[in-house]
Amino acid sequence: MSTAPPRPDILITDTRDVLVGPLTEIGQRFSVLIDALVPHSALVVFTRECTGRPRKVAGDPTIVDRVTIAELDRIRTELTAGEIRRGPARVAGRDRDVCVMLDRTDTLLVLVPRGARASAASLELVRSLFTIVATGIQLQVHSASPAYLAESRAASAERARTVAELTEAHAVTLETILATLRSKDLDDGRARATARETATGALIALRTAVDAHRELAEEAVTTAFARMHGELRSLVRHRDLELEMAAPPVHGRALPGEVAHAARALARGAVLAMSAQSEVTRIRVAWSCDGAQLCVDIRDDGRGEVDAAELERQLRDRVETMGGTIESESTDGWGCRVSAALPLDLPVLATGGAAADALAGLGAREIEVLEHLVAGRRNRVIAERLGVSESTVKFHVASLMRKLDVSTRGEAAALGAEAGVKAAG
Rounded distance, CA 174 to CA 200, Å?
8
Distances (CA, A) of 314 to 25, 83, 171: 27, 40, 46
Shared domain for 137 and 158, answered yes or no, is: no
Shared domain for 26 and 132, answered yes or no, is: yes
Which of 36-40, 80-84, 180-184 comes out lowest in average pLDDT?
Answer: 180-184
Rounded distance, CA 202 to CA 344, Å?
31
Rounded distance, CA 243 to CA 130, Å?
35
Asked whether 274 and 328 are in contact (CB, 8 A), the reply is: no
- The string of pLDDT tens digits covering residues 50-101 is 766 788 999 999 999 888 888 898 999 999 999 999 999 999 989 999 999 9
315 in a domain, yes or no?
yes
Strands (E), 213-334: 218-219, 242-246, 255-256, 282-289, 293-300, 325-331
Rounded distance, CA 206 to CA 227, Å?
31
17 in a domain, yes or no?
yes
CATH number (domain holding residue 290): 3.30.565.10
- The string of pLDDT tens digits covering residues 299-315 is 999 888 888 888 888 88
Shared domain for 238 and 316, answered yes or no, is: yes
First to last CA, the chain: 55
Q: Is 85 exposed, middle or buried (0-12, 13-18, 19+ CB in 10 A)?
A: middle
Rounded distance, CA 368 to CA 150, Å?
9
Split at pLDDT 50, 70, 90, the class of 196 is low
User: In 3D, which of 9, 15, 307 has the Cα closest to residue 135?
Assistant: 15
Domain limit, last residue, from 192, 216, 240: 216
Instruction: Order the strands of the 84-91 sheet from edge to edge.
Output: 55-59, 40-46, 108-113, 94-102, 84-91
Rounded distance, CA 349 to CA 369, Å?
19
Write the single-letter amino acid at 200: T
For 68-106, the DSSP string reads -HHHHHHHHHH--TT-EEEEEEEETTEEEEEEEEE-TTS
Distances (CA, A) of 415 to 363, 368, 394, 424: 16, 14, 18, 15
377 in a domain, yes or no?
yes
Shared domain for 84 and 104, answered yes or no, is: yes
Domain that holds residue 387: 353-418
Which of 106-115, 126-135, 225-234 comes out lowest in average pLDDT?
Answer: 225-234
Shared domain for 302 and 189, answered yes or no, is: no
Split at pLDDT 50, 70, 90, the class of 159 is low
- The string of pLDDT tens digits covering residues 351-387 is 345 555 667 677 778 888 888 888 888 888 888 888 8
Shared domain for 212 and 268, answered yes or no, is: no
Say how many C-beta atoms besides its own lie within 10 A of residue 377's C-beta: 20
Q: What percent of the chain has pLDDT over 90?
A: 26
1 in a domain, yes or no?
no
Shared domain for 117 and 81, answered yes or no, is: yes
- Mean pLDDT, residues 246-275: 87
Shared domain for 371 and 336, answered yes or no, is: no
168 in a domain, yes or no?
yes
Q: Is the pTM of this model over 0.85?
A: no
Shared domain for 155 and 133, answered yes or no, is: no
Q: What pLDDT was estimated at residue 42?
A: 95
Helix, strand or coil, per DSSP, at residue 10: helix
Domain limit, last residue, from 324, 343, 362: 343
Residues 6+ away with beta carbon under 8 Å from 9: none
423 in a domain, yes or no?
no
Shared domain for 173 and 291, answered yes or no, is: no
Asked whether 273 and 306 are in contact (CB, 8 A), the reply is: yes
- The string of pLDDT tens digits covering residues 261-292 is 889 989 999 998 898 888 889 999 999 988 88
Domain limit, last residue, from 161, 182, 216: 216
CATH number (domain holding residue 383): 1.10.10.10
132 in a domain, yes or no?
yes
List for the chain the helix, strand, coil content (%; round to 5).
55, 20, 30
- Which residues in 301-314 are b (16+ Cβ under 10 Å) and which e? bbbbbbebeebbee
Q: What percent of the chain has pLDDT over 70?
A: 77
User: In 3D, which of 306, 380, 16, 356 has the Cα closest to residue 159?
Assistant: 356
- To 5 degrees, how large is the angle CA 11–CA 13–CA 18? 90
Shared domain for 246 and 205, answered yes or no, is: no
Q: Is the pLDDT of residue 245 over 90?
A: yes
The dihedral sign for the CA sequence 301, 306, 312, 318: negative
Q: What pLDDT was estimated at residue 126?
A: 93
Rounded distance, CA 181 to CA 177, Å?
6
Shared domain for 196 and 233, answered yes or no, is: no
2 in a domain, yes or no?
no
- Enumerate helices (H) and strands (E) in the chain, giving the number of each: 16, 12
Instruction: Order the strands of the 242-246 sheet from edge to edge.
Output: 242-246, 282-289, 293-300, 335-343, 325-331
Write the single-letter amino acid at 135: T
Total domain count, the chain: 4
Higher pLDDT, 417 or 229: 229
Write the single-letter amino acid at 255: L
CATH number (domain holding residue 104): 3.30.450.270
Split at pLDDT 50, 70, 90, the class of 349 is very low
